[in-house]
Chains A and B, each alone.
Chain A
Amino acid sequence: MELFDSIILILDATLRNATPLIFAALAGMFSERSGIVNIALEGKILISAFAGASAAYYTGSPWMGLLAGIMASVVFAQLHAFATVTHNGDHVVSGLAINILAAGLTAAVGNYWFSQGGNTPNLVSRAEELNARFEPIVFPFADALADVPIIGGIYSELLSGHYILVYLAFLAVPLCWFVLFRTRFGLRLRATGENPQAVDTAGISVTQVRYLALLVCGVLAGFAGVYLAVALTAQFSPNMSAGKGYMALAALIFGKWRPKTTMLACLLFGALQAIADRSQGAIIFGFEVPVQLVEALPYILTVVLLGGFIGRAVAPKAIGKPYVKERA
């Protein structure tokens, strides 16, 4: 029973950890499938977390926070498009600029606004009668069923009681799959990432498709940031994304740029993080596995996959290459 309980707790934490990764990895999927390398997920998460927490604090509403976070992330995503699509800038350099800019701006502006060393004030404060955090959603009868063995653990503990953004993340996966693989926009987007010349010849603007792809990318990355600051912690603190954008990128590659497998990769990485958070290392087959190894495992697994040792991850063909029409 104790084992069951701790498994439920780890799975519960897995869902929480995987949520920002899923949003960010789906964001990266739209970008990379259209041919734009996106190492800027980290920066987008950070800026949307900051904008989300600030707006939620000023308006007292988490939903306004969500809106502001998405808007901030979209602005940065469009900046990425401006640099890489309009000016044929290097995708990696542009992504890096956005990450560094986001890290600096959130801290400097945050300190100027709130004078708390770059933190925003706490979004839940009894003194200010403020509650601008997302509330957990408790399923019907969850309280009543909590004490029932097995079912109570699964239903009341694991499935019920998460923030709405957690459920939205898992809904976003089939939705993104539908958009990418069953709509005309998705077909054009994927074609732009594989063969932009062909798309252009068909009379579709490569520029427009890529700007739109990065718009969607910005919206999804905004959810990831707002989830961190307005749901999970109820406060922004500098550099709170702590590499989640890069981990989402790893999950995207580990999931071979496909929605379902990417979600599974996010869950795997979330579970590893949950195990690392819970223990000072795990004991597997009598070996003591250090906690740092568990933490590094997502990155190690991604490198191993990229090396072609477990399956093959094939990136969109035209990724990272600026599309320049031949001059007449």
Chain B
Amino acid sequence: MTPLNLLILVCLSYVVLLFLVAFAAERAALRGRGAWMSQPLVYTLSLSVYCTAWTFYGAVGNAARSGLEYLTIYLGPTIVMVGWWWVLRKLVRIGRSQRITSVADLISSRFGKSNLLAVCVTLLAVIGTTPYIALQLQSVTLSFAAFAEAGGLDAPVADSNATAIWVASGLTLFTIVFGTRNLDVNERHYGVVMAIAVEAVVKLCALLAVGIFVVWGVSGGVSETLQRIDASTIGTAEIHGGRWAALTFLSGAAFLCLPRMFQVLVVENEDESHLQTASWAFPVYVMLISLFVIPIAVVGLQTLPEGSNPDLFVLTVPLSQGRDGLAILSFLGGFSSATSMVIVAAIALSTMVSNHIVMPIWVRMTGGGASMSGDVRNVVLLARRLAIAGVVFLGYLYFSLSGGGAALTSIGLVSFAGVVQVLPAMLGGIFWRGATRMGALSGLLIGFLIWLFTLFLPSFAGGVFLPETVVQFGLFGLDWLRPQALFGFEGLDPLVHAVLLSMSINTLVFVLVSLITLPSPLEQLQGAQFVNVYQHSTQQKSWSGGVAQSEDLMVMAQRILGASEAQALFQSAATRQGVSGYLPEPSEEFLAELEREMAGSVGAATAHAMVGQIIGGTPVSVHDLMAVADETAQMKVYSSELEIKSQELARTALQLRNANTKLTQLSVQKDAFLSQISHELRTPMSSIRAFSEILRGVEVLSPQEQVRYASIIQEETIRLTRLLDDLLDLSVLENGQVSLNLSTGSLSDLMDHSVAMARVGRDAAAMQIHRNSADERIWLYTDLDRLNQVFLNLIVNAHKYCDAAEPKLQIIVRQSAQQLTIDFIDNGTGISYENQNLIFEKFSRIGGHKSGGAGLGLAISREILQRLQGDVIYLPGQNGAAFRIRLPESVIGGAARADMSSTD
């Protein structure tokens, strides 16, 4: 078997292996066993998509031509990764909270979901990436050719186009199968990521293997290798400051801006904490990748014949040493680098193209919204698949047109310089609230044009797009419009010249235009959410609903998210809102959530436009605007805090004032009480004194008179004692010192007892008492003596005060679920409205002293009932004086207890 055939076989097996890995990963993720795939290690390895065939082959070529300069390509990303706290952390956080799907989506989202910006970034990305894809195809065909040459075959070399076609179609197939399996980009491509991680390991192992072979196998040790390096044509480190700085900057910036890097860094990021690991693991990876580059280059330069392509040293050095196995491993490494780049770039670009170019056009053409027909999911997937095929085909086209002549490195750098035009808008967008859409757009366009004119077009050899005369004498013959000395910047390296001019003018225009233009409300809102992502990374609210029809939204969402997913989303939202069924209220939160979910599928701008078409309402609510003006919001919070505090103070003051009033009232009450009580005491006391003085002082008194006076004194003392007893009773009750003597008894017995006691010393016929004995058959568990006291007081009062010709007292007992009420209603004139509140006060007597009571009875009754958790009130409108006693239900039901105790 010739080496070439073997190579093809190995290559095919490798491809099959990759398919299997991707397939297995997808299945594992589907069954929920994908946890091990979301390791920080896998994330780090997936970042290695940065190391393409350009670095695998090109780094050695670069080293062979210009020494250590190749290092800059790795130093930039190392600095960015090590400084993850600055930019990457924020990018990842924004990407996750805003469901960003690509660089274009990030920029468009930030600047008010502007689709124009998204289209510009997408075009820039496509133009910048196409040569890069071509480069990958070229490297694969070149490496095939190298093998064929070594095998002594000439035919396949001429057929490099066929190789490129095969590779391109294989990659397209793989990417379509695993890259467009699920629609939501945020669902992540487990299969692709896994395959890329495997490829990352393969390319690292391959390069390390070749390096180890070169250092220990060919040169014979580390110190010998170092000597060999110093003795070679690149033995002296010549560092061109300008190129060094520009390239380091370029690679670091490209690391953030390249569509494929953004895809793996931000979109495929599963967990923010993975960044923490990747911050050192990725620098280790690229350090290992670049460790043996110089030794391989040096050995290649020294052992291979003059004129060999240094870009292929990684392959040709083992081949020339007869190590076919190592060469095949090395080929697989290069193949892995090339394929992983093309796959991820195609996914990233297809997402952009379908979300920002195809979908908006399609939405506009079909009228969008709920009125569109067919399944949008299929349209999006089809758009994406076509875009993948288109992107890879563009790369192939570029490859076959350009003839694959230029050195690998230069194409890579041209591409880098193109995509980093996004950088000012990106960094400005996430760090500067004042950045506006117009600023981003103009900076981007200016930068893009300068890059096109100074670097991209001149990179085509032979004046394909830019005639030689323009390069030499400037556009329209204007000297200051020479592509490689624009505005008279002469004597610079073309790359440095292009990067310096495009980036600085881009940034300058971006800042200036941002300063003089005003952002729209939506831009301000998005700006605040991006810049202050750590403060409010929770929700993005943008719709004021109310006019939206949930059903239309449902119809649309089903087409984009898929029927079951959309239904689940709607149902969970409805459940959260407390609505049954599938249709939640189109609240702001729900609309924002829906838009974000859809943004994961079709991009922010399209999702926004689609929801907008259905809602038709204002995209920004007043509430949002308040949130936008962060300072205002903070002020508001502060002032509302103040308001709360002052309200608290006012409340406290009011309470104090109330307490003061109450104290004053109590003091007045106390004075009144004292004067009342001294008055009450004084009246009997003075008569006692008068009559006792008569008994003592007047010597001649008939025995009858003596008896009369003594009995008056006795009556008055009894009255005094009763008064003092009542007072004592009241004070005990009021202080809550009374201990209740709880016992069980029937209400009818109690009532019989009270009525009988009230009639002692009175004419039984003087008042009729109506009772319903059936209602009174209730068992009570309470302080029966105290309750008796209350009943007695009420019945005696009726006896005393009822002024009807035929006094009648009705006692009505009612039992409800919550309480027991006992009404005492007589047929007298009742109590006037203004006195109704007074009768429960101490010493209040209506109608003068004719009854001779101290006026404490009702006050005591009320206190007693309060102790028993009930109360007594005056019941107006009963054609007579009416009092209602209310007792809680807890006193009822003593029956069961009583029955049980009686059966015991």
Co-complex (A, B): no
List residues of chain B with CB under 8 Å of any chain A CB.
Answer: none
